[in-house]
Structure 1
């Protein structure tokens, strides 16, 4: 009696495809910059820190130094850096993934294994962008707190959001319009 294994089982038996080196370098740089900013904040933040700003950049919420540091550490650590681990869903519940050409990707073990790598790389890029946005905002908060100002420079706040938006658009365009998830002949 022969048993047929599923594409998921076949994919799990295959070696993991490595993340592209340039994406790993970006991730390492982003984490290193984030840690450097946290260390800088520990050294220079005053006891009272503006931590929330209205649409015009005016501070409308304040926190203690420890509260601001907790935000700087916990949000990236708990919400952003774990994001690439969501790519594991490809090998656990591939039908739950919403990506271009998904039905082609989930039909064999080698396709699923490649699909997991593509998703992991894209999630790392989104992680890097999000971490960069948070770091830029933390730098703006720290500069505002050190200057004892009641408003953040609009260039920091809106410039960071603009760069994040353009970067996110580029990653999504690469995913959906760039053919990244098109059928790949080496996997037929």
Structure 2
């Protein structure tokens, strides 16, 4: 199921992140807060053009990176793969299943990172348009949730998803 849902989630979150940048390009004021202190208050600003350019580069960079990793998974050398219990997978023979899982996990990493990029674009737009030049409180919840999700996903990958006995035993 993850094999089918992960690519779809990646495409949807990437499209939403790109749309957010397009909307930001239209609605951002000329002066945009682009760096924030730990308390969420802006401490540096950029022009709309610079802010939108950086947001677009981050959005396309994330999509390009994770999309390329997911597409390369089925073809790349196993030397480049960093998966739990890799040698056991190679010794036991289900290498194609390992490659499918690597591809799906790259899409999961990409989709979750797209959510952070999307939220960052929305938060910067909201901060710029609010007149407070401060990140909205919800953004910190999204950022913390992303960290917790990443930790949970990595633990799941190591303890469950790449346990070879689940495949051959």
Give the TM-score of the pair, scaled to structure 2: 0.86
2:142 corresponds to: 160
Runs of 4+ in 1 over 4 A off after TM superposition: none
Residue 90 of structure 1 and its aligned partner are, at CA, apart by 6.7
Q: Is the contact made by 1:84 and 1:121 (CA closer than 8 Å) also made in structure 2?
A: no
Which residue of structure 1 lines up, in the alignment, with residue 77 of structure 2? 93
Secondary structure, counterpart of 2:84 in structure 1: coil
Gaps spanning 5+ residues in structure 2: where? none
Q: Mark the CA change 1:139 to 1:80 in structure 2 (over 3 Å): closer, same or farther.
A: same
Following the alignment from structure 1 to structure 2, what is the Cα–Cα distance between the partners of residues 177 and 36?
Answer: 36
How far off is 1:89 after superposition? 5.9
Residue 174 in 1 paired to residue 152 in 2?
A: no
Aligned length: 167
Q: Please tell me whether the aligned partners of residues 27 and 124 of structure 1 are also in contact (alpha carbons under 8 angstroms).
A: yes
Q: Does 1:50 align with 2:50?
A: no
CA contact (8 A) 2:67 2:110 kept: yes
C-alpha RMSD of the superposition: 2.3
TM-score after normalising by structure 1: 0.78
Larger radius of gyration: 1
2:48 equivalent among 52, 65, 71: 65
1:52–1:61 CA contact under 8 A, matched in 2: yes
Q: 1:73-88, aligned counterparts within 5 Å?
A: 73-86=56-69, 88=72
Q: Deviations over 1:107-157 (max 9, x none)?
A: 47x62222111111111111111110111111110011112223222332x
CA distance in structure 1 between the partners assigned to 2:80 and 2:64 by the alignment = 21
Which structure shows the higher helix fraction?
2
Structure 1, unpaired ranges of 5+: 1-18
